[in-house]
Amino acid sequence: MIGTGDTESELRTARRRLLADTAPIAISVGAYGLVFGLSAHAVGMTAVEALAMSALVFAGAAQFAALGSLVGGVGLAGIVLLTAAVNSRNLVYSAALTPWLADRPLHIRALMGHFVNDAAFALTIAYFRRLGRADVWGFWWAAIIGTFLPWILGTIAGAMAGGAIPDPSRAGLDVVFPAAMAGTAVTLANDRRAVAAMIGAAPVAVVVSLVWHPGVGVPTGAVVSTLLAFAIRSGRPVAQVPASGDDGASPGVVS
């Protein structure tokens, strides 16, 4: 229901709803951050390095992929391309927010840009539509309290707790980031073509990695499989990412 945004009671109601919507997302993001912190420690990153990545990049799927890339010997160019591919949907999120925020000062929009992600976008766009106008307080609440702070605190906790675990592999923690990459791949593969690209990439990458090196095998598998997938009709979506609002946002996963 879209409100006119003209009354204080509408604003209070909308803000209360935003607070309620934020809580479970913040908990989920914090737990995910904890897992990232543990993973970062498992691959040898210090707590400061893990914190820096989480604060500056602030994109869970790309961060997990970066850990896997570093371990797998993928070079800087490959990591940057993967980051761009995984985070490209943020273009759509920002584009959807632009009409609501176009009248804000440029420096405020520049600052907001850092905090656009799945969860912050989903919370914000739902809040704006409920209110019928932009209320920047809502964006900052969703972005900082809903996602950024839990992500940072979770990362710190995980990175520091990792030091208390003498042998992470005995606890199964070494499978966290490959499992995170596999799970995120499934999340992103929402039609036949994307599923084909995903499934085809694995064997090609493994074979080329065995013949040559993982740093070559991984991008080769991805590029070859993606090009071949263009020959497949997209078809109906086979797996729906949980959405909030009409713009296909996927709350609960920090992108």
Residues 32-61 that bind another protein (CB under 8 A): 32, 35, 43-45, 49, 52-53, 56-59, 61
What b/e string do you get for 82-107 counting C-beta neighbours within 10 Å, with b at 16 or more?
Answer: bbeebbebbeebeebbeebbeeeeee
Selected from 157, 160, 206, 248, the binder of another protein by CB under 8 A is 206
What b/e string do you get for 145-157 counting C-beta neighbours within 10 Å, with b at 16 or more?
Answer: bbbbebbbbbbbb
155 binds another protein per the rule CB under 8 A:
no
Min CB(59)–another protein separation in Å? 5
The rounded distance, in Å, linking the Cα atoms of 176 and 168 is: 10
Contact (Cβ atoms closer than 8 angstroms) between residue 122 and residue 249? yes
Which residue is associated with the tokens 């979770």? 154
11 binds another protein per the rule CB under 8 A:
no
DSSP structure class, residue 144: I
User: Which among 4-12, 125-133, 149-157, 189-197 is the span making contact with another protein, rule CB under 8 A?
Assistant: 189-197
User: Which among 7-15, 27-35, 124-132, 134-142 is the span making contact with another protein, rule CB under 8 A?
Assistant: 27-35
Selected from 125, 142, 180, 249, the binder of another protein by CB under 8 A is 180
Q: Which residues contact 146 (CB under 8 A, 6 or more apart)?
A: 22, 25, 26, 29, 119, 120, 123
H-only helix segments in the chain:
8-42, 47-56, 60-72, 76-87, 89-101, 106-113, 118-131, 136-140, 149-162, 176-188, 192-211, 214-229
Looking at residues 78 to 137 of the shown chain, list those that interact with another protein (rule: CB under 8 A). 79-88, 90-95, 97-98, 101-102, 106, 109-110, 112-117
The rounded distance, in Å, linking the Cα atoms of 19 and 34 is: 22
Selected from 26, 125, 153, 197, the binder of another protein by CB under 8 A is 197
Looking at residues 219 to 238 of the shown chain, list those that interact with another protein (rule: CB under 8 A). 219, 221-223, 225-226, 229-230
Selected from 138, 154, 217, 251, the binder of another protein by CB under 8 A is 217
Count of residues engaged in binding another protein, rule: CB under 8 A:
111
Min CB(16)–another protein separation in Å? 27
User: Which among 1-9, 131-139, 151-159, 204-212 is the span making contact with another protein, rule CB under 8 A?
Assistant: 204-212
Min CB(239)–another protein separation in Å? 6
